Amino acid sequence: MSKTPHGEADPETVDLLVIGGGTAGIVAAKTAANLGAAVVLVERARTGGDCLWTGCVPSKALIAAASAAATVRSASRFGVDTGPARVDFGRVMAHVHGSIDHIAPIDSPQALTDAGVTVTSGDAVFTAPDTVTVDGRAVRFVQAIITTGAGPTVPPIPGLATIDYLTSDTLWDVTELPGRLLIIGAGAVGCEMAQAFARLGSTVTLVGRAPTILPREDESASAIVAAALEADGVTVRTSTSVVEIDHSSAVTDAGDRIAFDRVLVAVGRTPRTVGLGLDAAGVEVDQHGYVVVDDHLATSNPRIRAAGDLTGHPQFTHIAGMHGSLAATNAVLGLRRRVDAAGAPRVTFTDPEIASVGIDVRAARRISGLRVQTLTHEHLDRAVTEGRTEGLVSLVLDGRRRIVGATVVGPRAGETIGELVLAVKHGMRTRDLAGATHPYPTYNDGPWNAAIADVRSQLDAPVASRGLGAVAAVRRLWLRRR
């Protein structure tokens, strides 16, 4: 090992340093190692990130248990009589943690090591544009990718700090079902957990500041989910803020008091960039703490890229994974691949689900040249057979009938949105979707039938109708003369 002029050992140098072992970091590290780079991944806690330990995996496992309880209770509507559902919350949480344990080996340090990545445990802090210290040990890098993600935001509500509140990080340590659960925040996490805990037997109050729950979604879609939550027993309060909390109740800005046994805070996420030494690295952050990146995920330091939740891009696991792949290939191969923001889907896993991609319906109504083609599930045969006709499909179309956005509300909407993601990404028109044979009866009939309806509306237009009528008349005349 060489020495510095002061007799100190030169720090080791790595091709690519990845800071953070969540989805973005794991994908970036494995991708770079597969391309031949010497990769070191630094993780201060456990690899797998929020998705595995506190996000996607445990929440969907809990939702599955809650859905089973709801199915038992609703069986009588199909003429199937059952006894009352009894929830053993301890076994529910055992199922949740069992799901985590089953998936964890895929993201483990051993899996990364097997992929050619060197995994180091510790806190990484930048000390120079090309150097970090990991628990005091200096590491120099040729290139780096920051993938430290984001954590739950805790609002400055008076009294909140005096109680044992829950967040998406700590919810999974709960061992007893809350009798009365107050959820602050009516976004995706708040709505998913409100419905799940209500179905498991909690008395749930959901409070959101916006006029509707899920304020990113179109009002018609949000209204369907709000009705579903209320049908499951959730008290939904919109245009409402909690302004004070004590040990057993919360006060709203309207002066109402909400009693609770536990409080879940779900008002958003804050990037984990504090304490990384980004100033020393010359990495710019915005006023909210997000790392500023360009379309190639490059930061203000040409050696460093960022990927995932800390970039200010939509905070979804699938986007973090795509970021990780893109950042790694750009770094190792010198490519300039761009983030595909338009084709990024999102799903809220309530029942019914909401899935969206591209330009949303609300925006489409404000943009000249766009139109919305909607099919409600009263006209979807599979929904009729399952008694789930409250959903809808909306396609956002440009002037050339290309599908530039879509929203689906209904069971398995997250699966249905897949072909619409491809449609948006590849500029497909409604005639392309209408011309592809779909299996019957499925929920995927919804986008298909919406596309067919749009094509028929084109054919019914006066010019097209007259033209087709003339062709048909010529054809009839020719056949008669034969």
Give tens-digit pLDDT for 319-373. 999 999 999 999 999 999 999 887 899 999 999 999 999 998 988 989 999 999 9
Query: Which of 228, 247, 267 is at the close of a domain?
Result: 267
2 has a pLDDT exceeding 60? no
Confidence of residue 7 (pLDDT cuts 50, 70, 90): very low
Question: In this model, does residue 466 exceed pLDDT 80?
Answer: no
Kind and range of the H or E run holding 89: helix 89-103
Residue of higher predicted confidence among 461 and 53: 53
Q: What is the band of 305 on the pLDDT scale with cuts at 50, 70, 90?
A: very high
Confidence of residue 76 (pLDDT cuts 50, 70, 90): confident
pLDDT at residue 384 is higher than 80: yes
The rounded percent of the chain whose pLDDT value lies above 90 is 87
Residue 467 predicted with pLDDT over 80: no
Residue 441's CB is within 10 A of a number of other CB atoms, namely 14
Query: pLDDT tens-digit profile of 225-273?
Result: 999 999 999 999 999 999 999 999 999 999 999 999 999 999 999 999 9
Q: Which two tokens stand for residue 235?
A: 């008290």
CA neighbor of 260 nearest in space, from 198, 161, 181: 181
Say if residue 345 is preceded by a cis peptide, omega within 30 of 0: no
Per the CB < 8 A criterion, the answer to whether 348 and 354 are in contact is: yes
Nearest to 119 by CA among 32, 1, 26, 10: 26
State how far the Cα of 227 lies from the Cα of 388, in Å rounded to an integer.
13
Confidence at residue 469, expressed as pLDDT on a 0 to 100 scale: 66
Give 107 or 10, the one with higher predicted confidence: 107
84-98 residue pLDDT tens: 778 999 999 999 999
115-151 per-position pLDDT tens digit: 999 999 999 999 999 999 999 999 999 999 999 999 9
Q: Is residue 122 domain-resident? A: yes
Does 327 share its domain with 405? no
The residue range of the domain holding 219 is: 160-267
With respect to residue 77, please indicate whether it lies within any of the assigned structural domains: no
Residues 282, 142: one domain? yes
Domain end marker among 333, 361, 380: 333
**pLDDT tens digit sequence for 163-178:** 999 999 999 999 999 9
pTM (whole model) above 0.85: yes
pLDDT for residue 10: 65
- Same domain? For 361 and 425 the reply is yes
**145 & 291 share domain:** yes
135 and 29, same structural domain? Answer: yes
Strand partners for 393: 375, 408
What is the model's pLDDT at position 210?
97
Question: What CATH number corresponds to the domain at position 197?
Answer: 3.50.50.60
CA 330-322-50 angle, 5° bins? 120
166 in the same domain as 148: no
Which whole number is the average pLDDT over 296-304? 98
Mean pLDDT of the chain: 94
Per-residue DSSP letter, 107: G
Do 327 and 260 share a structural domain?
Answer: no
User: Is residue 228 domain-resident?
Assistant: yes
Q: Is residue 442 in a domain? A: yes
Domain-embedded: residue 250: yes
Residue 384 lies in a domain: yes
Of 221, 251, 267, the residue that ends a domain is 267
Contacts 24+ apart (CB under 8 A), 4-10: 10/140
pLDDT at site 229: 98
Domain count, the chain: 3
Whether 21 and 146 map to the same domain: the answer is yes
Band of the pLDDT at 468, cuts 50, 70, 90? low
| CATH value at residue 384 | 3.30.390.30
Same domain, 177 and 259: yes
Q: Does residue 98 lie in a domain region? A: no
Answer whether residue 244 is part of any domain: yes
Q: 297 and 148: one domain?
A: yes
Confidence of residue 65 (pLDDT cuts 50, 70, 90): very high
Same domain (yes/no): 136, 177: no
125 lies in the same domain as 204: no
